[in-house]
Amino acid sequence: MTPAKTLTHLDADGRPAMVDVSGKAVSARQALAECRVRFPAAVAAQLRAAGLRSAKGGIVDTAVIAGTMAVKRTHELIPFCHPLPIDGVRIAIDWHGERELRIECGVKTVHRTGVEMEALTGATVAALTVYDMCKALSHAIVIGPAKLVGKRGGRRDVGAVG
């Protein structure tokens, strides 16, 4: 029988605590996350016709920069995330169907803990940036779902990272 899983960010008294990773082995780790942005049909058509450019500039280019910056600052946003040396970030944004953008964020590090939160943060901040750049066209834009696609390194691998 598999032992029950427990929350890792609680101490013995049930109070919030950062996980101590000092005893873990340093290893190569990577994670891939995605987030979707769905537009009303007319907005999607307008964005396609404009080559994903708005009055504020290139939507994809700006979202890639914002997502990358967010990856590097995840530990400042999520209370128990460790500051990590980020060895690589790849953000890809492309149409998925007629009305939806798929934002994919891959992150790599060599450290004692993984980069799942960094990948999720990068993908969602990139999606928020797309929303910000397009909200003048509609407030009916929908962000999500955001999800971890996969991770490698550490105790177990999950899903696919590439």
Side-chain half-sphere exposure of 43, counting CA atoms within 13 A: 20
CA dist list (Å): 45 to 38, 104, 140: 12, 22, 14
Q: Which of 20, 61, 132, 157 is catalytic?
A: 132
The reply to whether 20 belongs to the active site is no
Burial of 27 per CB tally in 10 Å (0-12, 13-18, 19+): middle
Give 14's contacts (C-beta < 8 A, 6+ positions apart): none
Degrees (nearest 5) of the Cα angle 79, 8, 125?
Answer: 40
- The SS3 of residue 121 is helix
- DSSP β-bridge partners for residue 150: 32, 159
- For 9, other C-beta atoms within 10 Å of its C-beta total 11
d(CA 127, CA 62): 11
Residues with active-site annotation: 132
